[in-house]
Amino acid sequence: MSIQVQNIHKAFGDFVALGDVSLDFPTGELVALLGPSGCGKTTLLRIIAGLESADGGRVLLDGEDASDTHVRERHVGFVFQHYALFRHMSVFDNVAFGLRMKPRSQRPSEKAIRTKVHDLLKLVQLDWLADRFPAQLSGGQRQRIALARALAVEPRVLLLDEPFGALDAKVRKELRRWLRRLHDELHITSIFVTHDQEEALEVADRVVLMDHGKVEQIGTPEEVYRHPATPFVYGFLGAVNHFSGHVDGQSVRVGDEVLRHAAPDLKHGDEVIAFARPHELDIVTDLAGTDGVPARVARVLSFGVTARVELDGLNGATGQHFEVELTRERVEALALQEGQTVRLHPQRLRVFAR
């Protein structure tokens, strides 16, 4: 089932949580709402579920206006960050809850419920935990039970609010892969909220980037990572180095220094901000000329597959910190000393007008 939100507006007092947000979630896709905390992503998810009401705008489920439909008639599955399992009920009773609450005419027989619950518990691979209480489960198990409980009522859409937010790194990674596989099996339209860019890029078919209650970019993980539309998206999707300056012909001028680059759509003299990822910068020890930004080596960290060099900017970039990722061979060839002055050469630069 498709979900559309149109011109959703929501404010808490003076704080605008969502400012005129319109989005389309096509049938069968797994979409990530990605953004820093306070960007409005959870509020949007709760508005879609009906747990929160918008000040303006509409929510369409399957093309029908559901703005005034009560939560319990929307037939959505919702998974909470802190699981919200019924703590006084066994795992079995938790999963069976939605079925047992149906009006008598629609309620399946107790036998049918039992079959269904066990099928779902098998689906989340926790059939052996049916008689336990939520408190006796690990975080990862609880979240899978919460998912089974949401799926029991055969929701038209699945909404997940930071589903892995309360788990430790290793379990998170496992569950991510598991959720992706599950979605490939069920093909239920799903939206999940996260502030972890790696999680969003890894799991989702499509990523919606949000900041300050606005949508910044929508696209496949590949698109948003390769072609970030705004400085915010560029900065949010990975480590960055940024340079502020102005366009000077075929280059960006930062103070007296020059960064070469081609930006056909920007006019001479425009104030700009330029980004480069750590692996897109190179270090040159030859200080002659004005090509590249001068910086002082602060630390060389060479324990991984690649080496990281942290630097403090000089001259036009004083007060800024840079991070460069190089191969270990390159770092050894350069023989960098802490405190040494070098120049940074971007091999690739993404320039945004300010």
150 part of the interface to other proteins, by CB under 8 A: yes
Per CB under 8 A, the list member of 10, 41, 149, 277 interacting with other proteins is 149
Question: Could you tell me how far CA 104 lies from the centroid of its own chain?
Answer: 41
Place of tokens 């001028």: 253
Per CB under 8 A, the list member of 82, 122, 187, 226 interacting with other proteins is 82
- Candidates 124, 194, 145; CA nearest to 165 is 194
Closest contact distance (angstroms) between CB of 12 and other proteins is 11
Closest contact distance (angstroms) between CB of 219 and other proteins is 30
User: 186 vs 287, which CB is nearer to other proteins?
Assistant: 186
Per CB under 8 A, the list member of 134, 231, 313, 346 interacting with other proteins is 134
Pairing mode of beta strands 189-194, 30-34:
parallel
Q: Which range binds other proteins by CB under 8 A, 19-27, 82-90, 194-202, 330-338?
A: 82-90
78 part of the interface to other proteins, by CB under 8 A: yes
Question: Could you tell me how far CA 85 lies from the centroid of its own chain?
Answer: 25
- Output the CA–CA distances (angstroms, integers) from residue 23 to 11, 39, 269, in the order listed: 18, 15, 36
User: 155 vs 245, which CB is nearer to other proteins?
Assistant: 155
- Output the CA–CA distances (angstroms, integers) from residue 306 to 8, 191, 234, 244, in the order listed: 45, 35, 22, 27
Type of residue at 72: R
Closest contact distance (angstroms) between CB of 152 and other proteins is 8
Size of the site for other proteins (CB under 8 A): 26
Q: Are 167 and 199 in contact (CB under 8 A)?
A: no
Per CB under 8 A, the list member of 23, 31, 40, 77 interacting with other proteins is 77
Per CB under 8 A, the list member of 27, 56, 88, 174 interacting with other proteins is 88
H or E segment to which residue 3 belongs: strand 3-12
Number of H helices, E strands in the chain: 10, 20
Letter string b/e over residues 34-67, b meaning 16 or more CB atoms within 10 A of that residue's CB? bbeeebbbbbbbbbbbbbbebeebebbbeeeebb
Neighbours of 153 (CB within 10 A): 16
User: 5 vs 99, which CB is nearer to other proteins?
Assistant: 99
163 part of the interface to other proteins, by CB under 8 A: no
Closest contact distance (angstroms) between CB of 136 and other proteins is 8
| Residues 180-209, mask of contacts with other proteins (x by CB under 8 A) | ------------------------------
Closest contact distance (angstroms) between CB of 69 and other proteins is 13
Per CB under 8 A, the list member of 11, 153, 171, 298 interacting with other proteins is 153
Distance CA 223, CA 219 (A): 6
Per CB under 8 A, the list member of 65, 86, 112, 327 interacting with other proteins is 86
Backbone angles phi, psi at 293, to 5 degrees: -95, 130
Distance CA 275, CA 258 (A): 14
49 part of the interface to other proteins, by CB under 8 A: yes
| Residues 50-69, mask of contacts with other proteins (x by CB under 8 A) | -x------------------
Distance CA 109, CA 12 (A): 44
Contacts of 347 (CB under 8 A, 6+ apart): 276, 280, 281, 282
Applying CB under 8 A, the residues found at the interface with other proteins are 49, 51, 71-72, 75-78, 80, 82, 84-88, 97-98, 101-102, 133-135, 149-150, 152-153
